[in-house]
Structure 1
Amino acid sequence: MKKILTMLITIVLISSCKDKDQETNILPEVTQSGKNTGGAIVDGKVWVAKIEAPSSTPGGNSTYYSNTGNKFNLEITLREYNNETSLIKLYVNDVQHISPKTYSISPLPNFEGYYTTSNYIKYDITPSTGGSITITNFDFFKQVVSGTFSFKAENLNGKIINVTDGRFDKKYSQ
């Protein structure tokens, strides 16, 4: 009986460890409470941002909201740390106000794109590619912004990547 109980406990512990390992292989839930999560499908592969404090790493998983004159700006950076470091940057710039709605992604200055350090390649939105970012929640008082995104981006060699099912739920700084 003791041997069976030990085996059951071992199986439970192994399966719980497996679930934690697999969390990096599934997209985070679509939430709207400032959990500092983000992810997308990048060329058919799951890409998950590392959870960290909003401004703990310069250029890390940071989100900023600012007001310049009568124009508002939102910058969302999602960073993945694995065998390589990669990031997705989303911008909503020079709008009357940030609110829950869909914004078109077009070439800079509204979007930077996707960048990977494995081969130091940056993919940008170009006139022939595009996408959208949908703000589903913008809470000025709690400093939370949430939403979804998708886009296509191109590198200098003409290779296009497809980013789909993107989502973020971030606390922002001002």
Structure 2
Amino acid sequence: MKPILLLFIPLLLTTGCKKEKTELERLPVATQEGKNSAGFLLDGKAWLPAQCYVCSDSPIRGYSINTSRDGRILSLTFVRFPKDGKEGESLSFYLPHITKPDYFALDKVAVPLARTNPANATLGILKSSSRYPVVFDTGPDAVSSVTITRFDTVAHIVSGTFDLTVQEENGSETHQLTDGRFDLTLQ
């Protein structure tokens, strides 16, 4: 009887403990199926888009493809604002001249209201102590990249991965966005 009981003790010990997920495990799996998922690590902490009080539908919004003379322009925006609306973040990508899955270096300065801009990304952080968000951009001092792993204009699916360093627009504060991924069905 004792040998049988001793066999069950390790089983009880291993099933009774629930392991906490790591920050990386909290992110969605990097897929290419149009699952409308996105996430990244913001300075090592999992960041997932979240429904917000100002969003009428999805926290993954503003994604579109427009046709230009030399390819397409892909715009993506992910938001996370809690219901009180006093704090939150948004991440936006602008990728011009996209024709197929490809690698995009985000190493040039974007000019507001310019007719054309280089590929870039912007992180906006709104703190409860401020009326306006602090803006962090990619560029020559904050080199980053996006890899589009699927760009399917027939199935309307765009998927990709990214690693970004963003720097405060008028300052020296930086943030690291790592292990980024998105998998979207474009509308």
Is this a same-fold pair by TM over 0.5? yes
**Match for residue 150 of structure 1 among 156, 163, 167:** 163
**Corresponding position: 1:135 with 2:138:** no
Using the alignment, how far apart are the partners of 1:51 and 1:142 within structure 2? 25
- Deviation, 1:36, is 1.1
Compute the displacement of 1:168 (Å).
Answer: 0.3
| Mean Cα deviation higher: 77-86 or 135-144 | 77-86
Return the alpha-carbon distance in structure 1 between the equivalents of residues 104 and 121 of structure 2. Answer: 15
Partner of 2:47: 47
SS of the counterpart of 2:142?
coil
Q: Point out the structure with max Rg over C-alpha.
A: 2
| Structure 1 Cα separation of the partners of residues 166 and 34 of structure 2 | 27
Q: State the partner residue of 2:124.
A: 115
User: What runs of 5+ residues in structure 1 fail to find an aligned partner?
Assistant: 1-14
> Over residues 102-130 of structure 1, what are the superposed CA-to-partner deviations in whole Å (9 max), with x where a residue is unaligned?
11112213224111112421101132111
Q: Return the offset for 1:132.
A: 0.7
The code of the aligned residue for 2:137 comes to: D
Question: Is the contact between residue 51 and residue 61 of structure 1 (CA under 8 Å) also seen in structure 2?
Answer: no
Percent same amino acid among aligned pairs? 26
Q: Which residue type is aligned with residue 87 of structure 1?
A: S
Partner Cα separation in structure 2 for residue 170 and residue 164 of structure 1: 19
How many angstroms apart in 1 are the aligned matches of 2:181 and 2:147?
9
Name the residue aligned to 2:102.
101
Checking the alignment, whether the CA contact within 8 Å between 2:59 and 2:80 is kept in structure 1 is no
Matching residue of 2:94: 91
* 8 Å Cα contact 2:28/2:38 also seen in 1: yes
Cα distance change, pair 134–51 in 1 and its aligned pair in 2 (3 A): farther
Indicate the larger mover: 97-106 or 141-150: 97-106
Cα deviation, residue 170, structure 1 = 0.8
Q: What displacement does 1:62 show?
A: 2.7
User: In 1, distance between residues paired with 2:101 and 2:35?
Assistant: 18
The structure where helix makes up a greater share of residues is 1
How many residue pairs get matched?
Answer: 152
RMSD over equivalenced CA pairs, Å: 3.1
Q: Provide the C-alpha distance between the structure 2 equivalents of 1:27 and 1:60, rounded to a whole number of angstroms.
A: 15
Q: TM-score, normalised by structure 2?
A: 0.70
Give deviations 1:126-151, integer Å, cap 9, x for gaps.
32111111011111111110010111
